[in-house]
Structure 1
């Protein structure tokens, strides 16, 4: 099984080769995505459209490299397709989009839509009598979108005990600290709206898996405390790297110093 550290190394290489940004956003979410695709979600690589598969909604869609790597490690897509990452016209763009790629449930792009899409999928499971679960990955800065809280208010009313939202809480958004834009405790806010809340170290696969597998009788949120740019010292907690691309020299330094 591919390890989170291997995924982190490959994500750095992919984004550098594709000359794209959002590298630290990929690195903060590695363990979350690894745990979902390789340990928790019920999938059938031979049948990506299996009706009883668990659903994954990439609301935080700019960590596309990590998502594609996990899908490849899970056997859903061929690793060779990742060579087309961010190439014009390819089915593996730098912001997750379905196009013709198997195993993707929803497009990314506009922030804030993921929980609403997840509600629809979770509600469909209830309606159809199926026991699949829906997992939605969002960012902490994304939680400033009003649509997030409209969905958060609705989900408990619908009794969606098959819906799980994971917050990549790396405390940075774009070029700013999240608390400097809107200061709030996300776990407390979800709890106030009736959600089951788990707070975990977002770089601990064991903690993530335990929280994701924990029984639930209502919608569940896992607030994963992470480090933006995790593993690359010059990127960790540095907002200026959000949109930057790696030069060849920086790529070498990043890979050599990866921890």
Structure 2
């Protein structure tokens, strides 16, 4: 059975083998992805394009490794496809992209677009009479971009009680702390725009599941307080690991610590 700890180990192996970065961003999102794909979202592995499936949009697309692992654990894609992670011409690049891959609803890359995309999908569901939910994974660093807040202002006006945003609030961005750029409390800002707000330990599956399943009558945001690089002491809360790659020795040390 897949566990968050197993996903964490596999994400480390994938990024190390592919010689790519963003490993610490993957590790902070493990429990969020696990809870969504294995506990909360309505999916049908036998019919990944089922019209009533819940939709997942990764605005924070640089945690692609753990998202692919979530898709595989949920049975949406075959596990062997992950062997091509970050391989030229493959369908599982290091920044999440569709490329015809089941379960990937939208491309990532340019930050801050996810909430806008989520609004479009959630509004279409209302228009077409579907009852699925749309979940958007958002990074705290990208919340410094104006498009996030333009979308946040619009969603309550449209009555989107089928839209849920989860913020991976690890308090670090590319090279430094998010508070060194913007100090505004994200939960307070969403609340001011009319969102239902929950604050949880982003590494607690039970807290995440309770918040995600709670009734809502308007757009909901879950502020998931996480640790960047969670599970690997040398990476935890260290901004440099946003881009760094693991050496072989660091890989061995990281995996030993997660046993």
Task: Determine if the alignment matches structure 1 residue 217 to structure 2 residue 205.
Answer: no
2:52 alignment partner in structure 1: 52
Distance 1:50 1:32 in 2: 23
2:39 alignment partner in structure 1: 39
Q: Taking structure 1 as the reference length, what is the TM-score of the superposition?
A: 0.99
1:124 alignment partner in structure 2: 124
What pairs up with 1:48-127 in 2 under 5 angstroms? 48-127=48-127
Distance 1:68 1:116 in 2: 22
2:207 alignment partner in structure 1: 207
2:24 alignment partner in structure 1: 24
Structure 1 residues without counterparts, runs of 5 or longer: none
Structure 2 residues without counterparts, runs of 5 or longer: none
Q: 1:184: Cα distance to partner?
A: 1.1
Distance 1:107 1:38 in 2: 22
Distance 1:56 1:241 in 2: 26
Contact map agreement 1:233 1:258 (CA 8 A) in 2:
no
Task: Determine if the alignment matches structure 1 residue 252 to structure 2 residue 227.
Answer: no
CA RMSD of superposed structures (Å): 0.6
Task: Determine if the alignment matches structure 1 residue 238 to structure 2 residue 227.
Answer: no
Distance 1:225 1:107 in 2: 25
Q: 1:135: Cα distance to partner?
A: 0.1
Distance 1:52 1:126 in 2: 12
CA deviation string 1:209-236 (max 9, x = no partner): 0000000000000000000000000000
Contact map agreement 1:118 1:136 (CA 8 A) in 2:
yes
| Number of equivalences | 259
Contact map agreement 1:24 1:230 (CA 8 A) in 2:
yes
Distance 1:210 1:102 in 2: 27
Distance 2:194 2:70 in 1: 31
Distance 2:37 2:142 in 1: 22
CA deviation string 1:72-117 (max 9, x = no partner): 0000000000000000110000000000211110000000000000
Q: 1:258: Cα distance to partner?
A: 2.4
Contact map agreement 1:15 1:23 (CA 8 A) in 2:
yes
1:143 alignment partner in structure 2: 143
CA deviation string 1:136-155 (max 9, x = no partner): 00000010011000000000
Contact map agreement 1:198 1:221 (CA 8 A) in 2:
yes
SS at match of 2:138: strand
Q: Taking structure 2 as the reference length, what is the TM-score of the superposition?
A: 0.99
Distance 2:91 2:211 in 1: 32
Distance 2:148 2:198 in 1: 18
CA deviation string 1:115-165 (max 9, x = no partner): 000000000110011100000000000100110000000000000000000
Task: Determine if the alignment matches structure 1 residue 158 to structure 2 residue 164.
Answer: no
Distance 1:257 1:42 in 2: 34
